[in-house]
Chain A
Amino acid sequence: QKEVEQDPGPLSVPEGAIVSLNCTYSNSAFQYFMWYRQYSRKGPELLMYTYSSGNKEDGRFTAQVDKSSKYISLFIRDSQPSDSATYLCAMSDSNYQLIWGAGTKLIIKP
């Protein structure tokens, strides 16, 4: 079993829809959670960072962490074609090395 599980997709939704992206993990010691966005043939870029449980909102993006269920989510409201990318979750315990999910490819149809 992988430490971090993420559905690779692709997930295809119409423009303006609410998108939900998810990761599950097995290591209860993880306390730092990130979402990175990666456009085709580019390096990943940090989108959201959350420490421990709870929600964090930044514009159209909301990150949620449920440590009791070992489940994290990224919600995108009013999705745009420019949001089409691969979204990678990453997480860490206290030793600062990131463990990455495989990434979910998201396609927003105009």
Chain B
Amino acid sequence: NAGVTQTPKFRILKIGQSMTLQCAQDMNHNYMYWYRQDPGMGLKLIYYSVGAGITDKGEVPNGYNVSRSTTEDFPLRLELAAPSQTSVYFCASCNTAGIQETQYFGPGTRLLVL
């Protein structure tokens, strides 16, 4: 089991460029999440998905888009990158929506927008 994998590990973008952050899990989890983590701040939920074909906005969705065509994959799309999107992005998955369920996190993608 690889768990939750994320690519790339690190990326530098110019203002206005676009990119897709990849996330995949091999645990057959229904629920998947995208968070961003800024220095000195807690994790903020960007988008989440309760299953293939179903996504919903979290706390900070502006400037991002997601899709969930399969159970395994949950890519995050950044359109027109801005310096405010400089952050560390984490993907997570869990088996059910129950808050007592462990969310398994990937290793993160560090994004720098210049």
A residues lining the B interface (CB < 8 Å): 4, 6, 8, 32, 34, 41-46, 49, 51, 88, 90, 92, 96-103
Are B92 and A43 in contact, with the CB atoms below 8 A?
Answer: yes
Taken together as a complex, chains A and B put the C-alpha atoms of A51 and B98 apart, in Å, by 12
> Is A100 touching B43 in the complex (CB atoms < 8 A)?
yes
Q: Which residue of A lies closest to B105 (CB)?
A: A43
Whether the pair B40, A98 counts as a contact (CB closer than 8 A) is no
Give which listed residue, A4, A8, A98, A102, contacts B99 with CB less than 8 A. A98
Residues of A within 8 A of B4 (CB): 43
Contact of B58 with A44 in the complex, beta carbons under 8 Å:
no
Contacts of B102 in A (CB 8 A): 46
Q: Is the CB of A102 within 8 A of B42?
A: yes
A49, A99, A102: the one contacting B40 at CB < 8 Å is: A102
Report yes or no: A44 in contact with B41, Cβ–Cβ below 8 A. Answer: no
A selection of 22 A-B contacts at a CB cut-off of 8 Å is: A4-B42, A6-B42, A8-B40, A32-B99, A41-B107, A42-B107, A42-B108, A43-B107, A44-B105, A45-B104, A49-B100, A51-B100, A88-B42, A88-B43, A90-B42, A90-B43, A97-B45, A97-B59, A100-B44, A102-B40, A102-B41, A102-B42
Distance between B77 CB and nearest chain A CB, rounded to angstroms: 21
Q: Are B100 and A32 in contact (CB under 8 A)?
A: yes
Q: How far is the CB of A35 from chain B (nearest CB, A)?
A: 12
- CB distance B43 to A44 under 8 Å? yes
B45 with A101: CB separation less than 8 A? no
List 7 A-B pairs, minimum CB-CB distance, nearest first.
A43-B105, A100-B42, A46-B102, A100-B43, A32-B99, A92-B99, A96-B99
| Set of chain A residues within 8 Å of B95, measured between Cβ atoms | none
Output the least CB separation between A103 and chain B (Å): 7
Chain A residue contacts of B42, Cβ below 8 A: 4, 6, 88, 90, 99-103
Measured between alpha carbons, how far is A51 from B31 in the docked complex, in Å? Answer: 21
In angstroms, Cα B46 to Cα A14, docked, is 38
> Nearest-CB distance from B94 to chain A (Å)?
10
B45/A43 in contact, CB under 8 A: no
A43 and B99 contacting across the interface, CB-CB below 8 Å: no
